[in-house]
Structure formats: structure tokens, C-alpha cells
């Protein structure tokens, strides 16, 4: 019999995402229930279907190779949201993410061989500036960082605006990744030949610089080449996650040491994007070979991979601020949505071009309260579905595990040293998977679940503020913590259920 | 003794099956429900019996169906009606899993994307392709022979000895010398088994598995190609990925075919395998012989010369014959460590035999 498994895509909650591609097109993808555009404004009676497949709603811009979008930053506040876009020809545009209207734009000089590699649009209001301006941090590949403010809605391309700070991040090498922490006081830069360094944005001074890791057991030094960086949690600027070209994921802790606290290899292609979860310890990263995985950074163990026919390099991953889902996009021309908990694909949208970035517009639900309410109902439905599907999925996953094992066995013959780590990971996965499935209550009210999530990291963060260097101890401690947490959770759930009844 | 026993058993089985058949004819529906799968029977003899019975029934049903169809057709022929439509056989191709990435001709974004990609310069005839062909480190027997044939197939191709150079260095060199692509023929155990095509200066890198290679001298009645620019036939590159791979292959050849040369290079994609063929064609007309062979007048002779039949083409294969299968498509030039892939084959993608990527 031919092996035929169909990958069912359950659909996603109502969301709005924007994707950016190499032709400079911005595409708006929305998933909303079956409502026609005409009566979207009126209160509607909606036939709530369990699956909403996201669709391309709008496309902004004309295809032009030189306007390839390199970097994007969004400020999705409720009133007057802004979206900054950096293009290959050195143009920086500030758009309205709701209708694509250009609010401000500026062009950098000598952009041909010095493209913009980092862009951040500040969320907090600058007290000194008027409310009709926004501040932007840009960093070019050669290390020229500029902190500037742009007038919104004013005349285009007035770069001679008042406040503007310029500094050089590095003297040699190329900057490939940058990130700004949640409080927007610190920025981190890294790249080819540039070790990770942290800058204080107020005084524009370098506050910390990483040291390159030691030579390995074979006395081989791998040149520094960072490809992705992010902060581990929003409030904490001390922990930095980076991905390197030599397929390593590293955790730096500024308060602990200058070398990475945790560092592990993942498969055989460069890490191309890293994103943190809201809970403060889980990260998601994508590789150049199309692998997407999540890792618990307290232990450095792979929680599991997101499997679903993803065949091209993953350029960007975004975590949705409310729903437990992430979006990934990349060179395989697909935008994919994934469920975090089950690590199953929710849906995929074919977008025809190589995609560079994706962002979520988190206020999408607030605008249309009706759809939001439906969305929640749907989420519950989805949960039910998930529970039904568990048995099927288990079968599948076990099969996949078998395949992987077989593959590993083959590989093991070649590289016994490397694979041992992986196999451990696999075991870990299974261990972690089992209790999860047991734990799952039959019906869960979504809001409660989110509360749980928020509570969890808080308590844990207090306990291990600085990440332990010795792993063994840490893991044992954490397992205890986990047990405690689980017990707590169970109690809570029982209470809830009783309350419900 | 034993034979006797076996024979006896067989006889009984046959009797049973005959009885079962009779039953089926009386009441076919109930029988269908009660039918057991042969694989669930543990006794081998009984299992074999049931299996053979089922097989026989199937054969009978098929024959009956065939006869019915033939009868119908005959009836239609006799009455002069239109023949009933013949059923289209199910093939893997026509049952292909629907793919949303299949290119449509009315898709403007596709053409915009084409204009922006790495091959548009060559395909718009802004400059002519120049190919560097090299090999892996060790190369012998069929490898060089294959390369010498590739050199005759692809115009403006130059062979360079690999030596001990890194591929990345070769890429640099070729960029400096304004080559537009590099082809690397990889040999394993003296047999070419992989083909790497690198687009320059920043084009993608495609890694193909090469199989079933037949060289020119092994083809019966082969022709020797001329030096005319070949025509290119690309078929079945339907999806977005296929389109890109097709354009990549297309950019290896100059885009101004010399139709005088009547030389065709074909890349035919079927079920994700790309078949390469190289032909020479000729238009031919058969003379129609006059019915009475004894025409003597001059006029008749002239008429005879003009009396030519339908034009048809004859093909002569010349050049190697091989099959390619895409393994990976990498973004940018050759870089195994830090490279980004546009497409890699992964085992989890093989969800169905009827799912194709090109």
C-alpha cells in the first residue's frame, strides 16, 4: 500500500498578519469567518465554522526587485499603529499597517553595498518630541547605527530632522542581526566577524561585549558569524539568545559571564531566525534547511520540532501576542501558522514570492468584537478537535519518530558523537509529551489557560533569576519545580471544574 | 500418500469455491459483507484458497466488463451512433494531489517574479550564457565521456579540470571570468551520479541526482550533432518550484535557436523526474506512387514529382540520455555550511505517491 497521510490543517483563530517579500510587496493575510466585505460593518449573524483558512486580503506596492524589503518593525498600539519598513534601495518607510498609507519616508545614502540589517520602531512615546513623530533605530550592514526621529504625515524625506544620534557599532565585519529589548533601553548587535555586543541606547555606549567561545576538542576555532539574535524575555535585558551560522543556538547572560551560558548544535544548517516566547524561557528558531523547533532555554533541551512539509529556509518567526500560535515564513513562499502546544500546523498560505518577514497585527480582534467572540468560541472548539485528534496524531508522531530513529541509526554510523545528544533530546521529548497529553482537560476555557501561562514564568523567573551554569543541578531543580507546578495546576483545574459545575 | 491428501484437499476447496460462487450469484450483496480478508486467515492453505478465489472472481468481473463494453461499441457501430466514451485509465499523473503552487498564465505576480529573478538577463537575450563544466575530485571512465558529450550538447561550454580546487574558489574564478553557470558532474565508482548546477553570480544552486545515463555510443542508430544552436523543449514544469528549476535549466542554453540545424534538446518532467533527450529531426514527405505505373508523358512525370504526401517528421537520437531528480535547491551559490535552501527534500513531505513538487 502506498503511504498516504494527509496533513489536515485545522485553520486558525481570527488573526491578521502582514508579510513582506523580495519584490517589495506587502501582503495582508486575514483569517475571518465567512463574512462578505459588504456587511462587515453591520452586526452580522455569522455561521461559525470551525476552520477559518487565512487568505490574502490586500497587496500593497508594485513588484520591484530593488525595493526588496529587508527589515520590518511594527508598533501595534491600539490607536494609530505604525509599521516601519526598510528596503534594499536604502529607503525607510513608515506605514499605517491598517491601510498601507505611507506616513513618512527617508532614504539612506550609499545604500548599494551597505543595506539596512537592523530596524526598530520605538513603542514608547518620546517625551521630548512632539506626538506626531516616531523614533527609529536603524543599523546598516557595515555597522552604522542611527537613532532618529521622523515626522509622521509631514513632508517626505526630510532627513535633517532635529534629534539624530549616529554611532559605529563595529569597525570591521558585517552586522546581520540586531534586537532591542522590551524596555527599549538596550540594543544588541551581532554579525559576521562581530561578537554580540550590547549598547545603551540613551548614552549610545557599548555596555557589554561577548567573548568568542573556546576552541573545541579538536582545536578548531569556528569564526564568529551571528545570524539571529533576540532577548529571552521582555523585561530582562540580560539574557540574549543568538543563532549562529555554524548551526549553534547560544544563550548569553550578561550578569554571569562573557562566554555563552548554554550553547548547543541543531542539525546541519545555519540558524536563520530566533524568536522568544511570552513565557520567558521558550524560544523558537528556524534554520536554513527549513527546520523549525522550540527549545526550553532553562535546560537547553529541544522540546520538539514543528513538522509539516516546510521545505525552505525560515527567514522570520513571530509569536502571536494573545493566541498560542506562531507564524513562520521563508524561502518556500509559504506563510505557515503553527500551534505552539501541539506543534502542529494550523494553516499555510501560498504567497508566490520569497518572503523575508512576517508580523502580526494583534489588534485585529479588538476592532470587530463579534468576530473576536466567535474566535474564542472557535478556540474551544479547536481544543476539542485536538483532543479527538490526539490518538491519530500520536500514531503519526510515533511513526515519524520511528523514521527519525531509523535515519539516526544510519547517521550514527557516520557521526556517533554528535548524534548522542540528539537521541537524548528525543527521549526528553517523549517524556515531556506524555504528561502533557494526560494533563489535558476535556474542556478548557481559554482565558484561564492564558492566565496559567502568565503566572508560570513569573514564579519561575523569581526563583532562578540568573541562569545556572551547571546544567545538571539546574535540571534536577527544575524537574522539582515542574512537579510542583504541575501539582498546582492540577489543583487549580480541579477547582475550576468544580466551580463550573 | 501425501499427494493424495493434498489432491483431495484441493478438490474440496474447488468444490467449496464453486458453491460459494453459486451463492454469490444468488445474493451478491450479502456475500460482500460476509467476505473476510484473506490476510486475516491464519491457515495458509485456506488463506491461499480464499485468495485465489477472490482473484478469480476479479478476473471474471473484469472480463465481463470488457465484453460488455465491446458489445456496446459494436452495437453503436452497427447503428451508426457515436461510440460510447472510453474510460480514461487512472494514472498517477492524472490523480495528482492538487497543488496550490501550480503556475497560472494569468498570474501577474509570477511574471513580475520572473522579471526579477536571476535568469531574466539570459532569457531576455541581454547576454549569452557561458558555462563552466568541471567534475568532482576523482573522475574516470564514464565521467569524461559524459562531459565530452555535454560539451557538444551545450553551446559555449568550457571544460576545466577540477584539480584540487575548492568549489567556492571555482565559483569565485568563474565569476571573475564572467561565466553564467557552473556545472559539476559528480562521479561515484566511475559512474556519474550527481549534477550540480550553480547559477552565477548569485543565482541558485540546484543539486540533481543523475541516473540511467546512456552515452551516445550506446544508443542504436545515433546521430552526431552539428554545431547549430539547439532548440529547447521544456515540458511539465508546472509548479512554482518547477518553473524556477525550468528557468534555471533554460538559462544554460542560448535563447536563439538555429532552426536550420534541426536540433532539439528536451527536458521532460514526469513525476518529478526530469528526462533529458537530444534529437535531430527532419521533415519528410513520402511520394505517392501513381496507381498505374506506366505513365510515359513528361507531364505525367512532373505531376508525379508534385504528388507528395503528408509531411511527417523523423527523429534521430543523438547525444546522451539521462534522468535528473532534484535533491535540493539552494539560495545563493554553493555553500554547504551556511547556505539557505529554497527547497530540500524531506522524508515528511512524501505523504503520497501522487504528490509532486515540480
Greatest alpha-carbon span in chain B = 89
**Is residue B227 over pLDDT 60?**
yes
Decide if B273 is inside a domain. Answer: yes
Residue of B107, B344, B352 with shortest CB distance to A290: B344
B341 to A290: CB separation less than 8 angstroms, yes or no: yes
**What confidence score (pLDDT) does residue B350 get?**
81
Number of domains in chain B: 2
Q: Do A313 and B340 touch (CB under 8 A)?
A: yes
The nearest alpha carbon in chain B to A271 belongs to B338
Strands in A194-200's sheet, in edge-to-edge order, are: A174-180, A186-192, A194-200, A205-209
* Shortest distance, CA A246 to any CA of chain B (angstroms): 7
Walk along chain A (501 residues) and give the pLDDT tens digit of each residue.
445 556 677 878 888 899 998 998 999 998 876 544 444 444 433 334 445 788 888 888 888 888 899 999 988 887 788 889 998 888 888 888 888 888 888 887 766 778 888 899 888 765 555 556 788 888 988 888 888 888 776 544 444 455 678 888 888 889 999 999 888 889 999 999 889 999 998 888 889 999 888 888 888 888 899 999 999 988 888 899 999 999 899 999 999 899 999 999 988 889 999 999 988 889 999 999 989 999 998 888 899 999 877 889 999 999 998 888 999 999 989 999 999 988 888 888 898 889 999 999 887 764 444 443 444 444 444 444 444 444 444 444 444 455 555 555 554 444 444 444 444 444 444 444 444 444 444 444 444 444 444 444 444 444 444 444 444 444 555 556 666 666 666 666 656 655 555
Q: Do both B68 and B188 map to the same domain?
A: no
Cβ separation A331–B331 shorter than 8 A = yes
- pLDDT > 50? residue B111: yes
The predicted pLDDT at position A435 comes to 44
Residue B23 lies in a domain: no
Nearest CA distance, A287 vs chain B (angstrom): 8
Whether residue B22 is contained in a domain is answered as no
- With a cut of 90, say whether residue B184 has pLDDT above it: yes
Q: Alpha carbon of A445 to those of A52, A180, A381: distances in Å?
A: 20, 34, 11
What's the pLDDT at B294? 54
B300 and B173 assigned to the same domain: yes
Chain B residue numbers touching A22 (CB-CB < 8 A): 116
Q: Is residue B26 part of a domain?
A: no
Contact B112/A at CB under 8 A: yes
Same domain, B120 and B63: no
Q: Does B347 touch chain A (CB under 8 A)?
A: yes
pLDDT for position A315: 92
Q: Any idea which of A132-136, A216-220, B48-52, B299-303 has the lowest mean pLDDT?
A: B299-303
Kindly determine whether residue B341 and residue A407, on different chains, have CB atoms separated by under 8 Å: no
Please judge whether B342 and A332 are an interchain contact, meaning their C-beta atoms are less than 8 angstroms apart: yes
- Across residues B167-182, what is the average pLDDT? 94
Task: Indicate which CATH number applies to the domain containing B178.
Answer: 3.40.50.10480
Give a yes or no: residue B102 inside a domain. no
Cβ of B351 within 8 Å of Cβ of A312? The answer is: no
Q: Specify whether B46 is located in the same domain as B195.
A: no
Kindly state the cell numbers that stand for B15. 468444490
Q: Is the pLDDT of residue B167 over 70?
A: yes
Cα–Cα nearest to B118, from B196, B197, B176 = B197
> Residue B246, Cα to own-chain centre: how many angstroms?
14
- Give the model's pLDDT for residue B248: 94
Q: Are residues B153 and B243 in the same domain?
A: yes
Residues B244 and B282 in one domain: yes
- DSSP E strand stretches across A22-168: 26-31, 55-60, 69-75, 82-87, 91-95, 102-107, 116-121, 133-140, 144-151, 164-168
The answer on pLDDT for B85 being more than 90 is no
Average pLDDT over residues B292-313: 64
d(CA A181, CA A239): 10
Query: What is the domain range of residue B57?
Result: 12-17+37-82
CB A81 within 8 A of CB A41: no
**Are B144 and B235 found together in one domain?**
yes
Q: Would you call A331 and B353 a contact, using CB atoms and an 8 Å cutoff? A: no
Does the residue B226 lie in any domain? yes
Residue B60 lies in a domain: yes
**ipTM, two decimals:** 0.75
Q: Which residues from chain A sit within 8 angstroms of residue B331, using beta carbons?
A: 313, 331, 354
SS3 at position A291: coil
Q: Does some domain include residue B285?
A: yes
Query: What pLDDT is recorded for position A499?
Result: 56
Mean pLDDT of chain B: 85
- Mutation target to probe the B interface, by most B beta carbons within 10 A, among A6, A245, A352, A411 is A352
Please tell me whether residues B57 and B169 are part of one structural domain: no
Q: Are residues B214 and B69 in the same domain?
A: no
What structural domains does chain A harbor?
15-37+46-377 (2.130.10.10)
Residue A142 C-alpha cell reads as 557595515
A62 to chain B, closest Cα gap in Å: 9
Place of cell 575530485: B137
Question: Is pLDDT of B4 > 70?
Answer: no
The C-alpha of A226 sits at a distance from chain B's nearest C-alpha, in angstroms, of: 11
Total-model pTM: 0.73
pLDDT at B275 over 90: yes
B72 plus B116 within the same structural domain? no
B324 and B287: one domain? yes
> Which pLDDT belongs to residue B266?
95
Report which of residues A309 and B91 the model is more confident about. B91
CA distance A332 to chain B (A): 6
The verdict on a CB contact (< 8 Å) between B113 and A25 is no
Report the residue of chain A nearest B99, measured CA to CA: A350
Mean pLDDT along residues B127-137:
92
Cβ of B88 under 8 Å from any chain A Cβ?
A: no
Which of A104-108, A248-252, B31-35, B267-271 is predicted least confidently?
A: B31-35
Question: In chain A, which residues have their Cβ closer than 8 Å to the Cβ of B343?
Answer: 311-312, 332
Check whether residue B281 and residue B133 sit in a common domain.
Answer: yes
Amino acid at each position: 500500500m502506498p503511504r498516504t497521510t494527509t496533513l489536515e490543517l485545522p485553520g486558525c483563530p481570527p488573526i491578521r498578519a502582514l508579510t513582506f517579500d523580495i519584490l517589495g510587496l506587502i501582503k495582508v493575510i486575514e483569517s475571518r469567518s465567512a463574512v462578505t466585505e459588504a456587511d462587515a460593518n453591520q452586526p452580522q449573524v455569522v455561521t461559525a465554522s470551525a476552520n477559518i483558512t487565512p487568505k490574502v486580503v490586500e497587496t500593497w506596492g508594485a513588484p520591484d526587485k530593488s525595493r526588496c524589503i529587508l527589515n520590518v518593525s511594527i508598533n501595534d498600539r491600539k490607536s494609530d499603529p505604525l509599521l516601519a519598513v526598510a528596503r534594499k534601495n536604502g529607503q525607510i518607510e513608515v506605514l499605517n499597517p491598517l491601510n498601507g498609507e505611507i506616513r513618512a519616508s527617508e532614504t539612506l545614502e550609499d545604500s548599494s553595498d551597505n543595506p539596512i540589517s537592523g530596524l526598530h520602531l520605538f513603542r514608547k512615546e518620546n517625551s521630548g518630541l512632539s506626538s506626531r513623530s516616531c523614533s527609529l533605530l536603524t543599523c546598516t550592514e557595515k555597522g552604522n547605527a542611527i537613532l532618529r526621529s521622523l515626522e509622521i504625515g509631514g513632508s517626505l524625506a526630510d532627513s535633517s530632522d532635529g534629534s539624530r544620534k549616529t554611532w559605529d557599532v563595529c569597525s570591521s565585519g558585517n552586522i546581520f542581526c540586531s534586537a532591542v529589548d522590551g524596555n527599549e533601553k538596550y540594543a544588541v548587535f551581532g554579525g559576521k566577524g562581530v561578537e554580540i555586543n550590547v549598547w545603551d541606547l540613551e548614552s549610545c555606549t557599548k555596555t557589554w561585549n561577548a567573548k568568542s567561545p573556546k576552541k573545541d576538542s579538536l582545536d578548531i576555532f569556528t569564526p564568529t558569524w551571528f545570524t539571529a539574535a533576540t532577548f529571552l524575555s521582555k523585561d530582562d535585558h540580560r539574557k540574549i539568545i543568538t543563532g549562529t551560522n555554524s548551526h549553534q543556538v547560544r544563550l548569553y547572560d550578561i550578569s554571569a559571564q562573557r562566554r555563552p551560558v548554554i550553547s548547543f548544535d541543531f542539525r546541519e544548517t545555519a540558524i536563520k531566525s530566533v524568536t522568544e516566547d511570552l513565557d520567558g524561557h521558550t524560544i523558537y528558531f528556524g534554520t536554513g534547511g527549513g527546520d523549525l523547533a522550540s527549545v526550553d532555554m532553562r535546560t537547553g533541551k529541544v522540546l520538539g520540532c514543528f513538522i509539516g512539509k516546510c521545505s525552505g529556509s525560515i527567514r522570520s518567526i513571530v509569536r502571536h501576542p494573545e493566541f498560542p500560535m506562531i507564524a513562520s515564513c521563508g524561502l518556500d513562499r509559504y506563510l505557515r501558522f503553527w500551534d505552539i502546544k501541539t506543534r502542529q500546523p494550523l494553516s499555510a498560505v501560498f504567497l508566490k514570492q520569497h518572503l523575508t518577514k512576517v508580523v502580526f497585527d494583534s489588534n485585529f480582534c479588538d476592532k470587530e468584537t463579534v468576530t473576536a467572540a466567535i474566535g474564542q468560541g472557535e478556540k474551544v472548539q479547536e481544543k476539542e478537535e485536538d483532543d479527538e485528534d490526539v490518538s491519530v496524531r500520536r500514531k503519526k508522531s510515533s511513526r515519524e519518530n520511528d523514521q527519525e530513529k531509523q535515519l539516526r541509526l544510519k547517521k550514527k554510523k557516520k557521526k556517533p558523537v554528535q548524534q548522542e545528544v540528539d537521541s537524548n533530546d528525543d527521549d526528553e521529548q517523549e517524556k515531556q509529551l506524555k504528561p502533557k497529553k494526560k494533563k489535558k482537560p476535556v474542556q478548557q476555557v481559554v482565558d484561564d489557560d492564558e492566565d496559567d501561562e502568565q503566572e508560570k514564568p513569573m514564579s519561575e523567573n523569581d526563583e532562578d533569576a540568573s541562569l545556572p551554569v551547571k546544567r545538571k543541578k539546574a535540571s534536577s531543580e527544575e524537574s522539582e519545580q515542574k512537579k510542583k507546578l504541575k501539582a498546582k495546576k492540577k489543583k487549580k483545574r480541579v477547582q475550576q471544574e468544580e466551580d463550573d459545575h | 500418500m501425501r499427494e493424495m491428501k493434498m489432491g483431495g484437499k484441493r478438490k474440496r476447496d474447488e468444490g467449496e469455491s464453486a458453491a460459494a460462487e453459486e451463492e454469490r450469484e444468488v445474493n451478491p450483496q450479502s456475500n460482500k459483507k460476509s467476505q473476510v480478508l484473506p490476510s486475516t486467515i491464519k491457515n495458509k492453505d485456506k488463506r491461499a484458497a480464499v485468495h485465489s478465489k477472490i482473484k478469480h472472481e476479479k478476473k471474471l468481473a473484469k472480463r465481463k466488463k470488457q465484453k460488455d463494453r465491446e458489445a456496446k461499441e459494436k452495437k453503436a457501430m452497427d447503428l451508426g451512433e457515436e461510440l460510447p466514451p472510453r474510460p480514461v485509465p487512472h494514472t498517477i499523473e492524472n490523480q495528482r494531489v492538487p497543488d496550490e503552487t501550480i503556475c497560472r498564465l494569468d498570474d501577474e505576480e509570477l511574471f513580475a517574479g520572473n522579471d526579477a529573478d536571476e535568469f531574466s538577463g539570459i532569457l531576455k537575450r541581454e547576454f549569452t550564457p557561458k558555462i563552466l563544466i568541471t567534475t568532482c575530485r576523482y573522475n574516470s571512465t564514464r565521467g569524461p565521456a559524459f562531459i565530452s558529450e555535454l560539451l557538444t550538447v551545450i553551446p559555449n561550454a568550457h571544460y576545466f579540470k577540477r584539480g584540487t580546487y575548492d568549489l567556492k574558489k571555482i565559483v569565485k574564478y568563474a565569476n571573475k571570468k564572467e561565466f553564467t553557470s557552473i556545472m559539476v558532474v559528480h562521479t561515484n565508482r566511475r559512474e556519474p551520479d550527481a549534477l550540480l548546477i550553480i547559477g552565477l553570480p548569485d543565482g541558485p544552486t540546484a543539486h540533481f541526482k543523475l541516473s540511467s545515463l546512456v552515452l551516445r555510443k550506446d544508443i542504436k542508430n545515433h546521430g552526431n550533432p552539428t554545431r547549430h544552436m539547439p532548440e529547447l523543449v521544456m515540458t511539465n514544469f508546472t509548479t512554482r518550484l518547477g518553473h524556477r528549476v525550468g528557468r534555471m535549466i533554460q538559462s544554460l542554453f542560448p535563447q536563439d535557436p538555429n532552426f536550420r540545424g534541426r536540433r532539439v534538446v528536451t527536458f521532460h518532467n514526469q513525476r518529478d523526474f526530469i528526462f533529458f533527450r537530444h534529437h535531430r529531426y527532419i521533415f519528410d514527405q513520402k511520394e505517392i506512387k501513381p496507381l498505374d505505373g506506366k505513365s510515359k508523358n513528361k507531364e505525367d512525370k512532373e505531376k508525379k514529382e508534385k504528388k507528395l504526401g503528408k509531411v511527417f517528421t523523423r527523429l534521430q537520437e543523438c547525444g546522451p540520455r539521462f534522468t535528473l531528480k532534484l535533491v535540493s535547491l539552494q539560495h545563493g551559490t554553493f555553500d554547504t555550511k551556511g547556505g539557505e535552501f529554497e527547497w530540500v527534500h524531506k522524508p515528511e513531505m512524501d505523504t503520497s505517491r501522487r504528490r509532486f513538487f515540480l
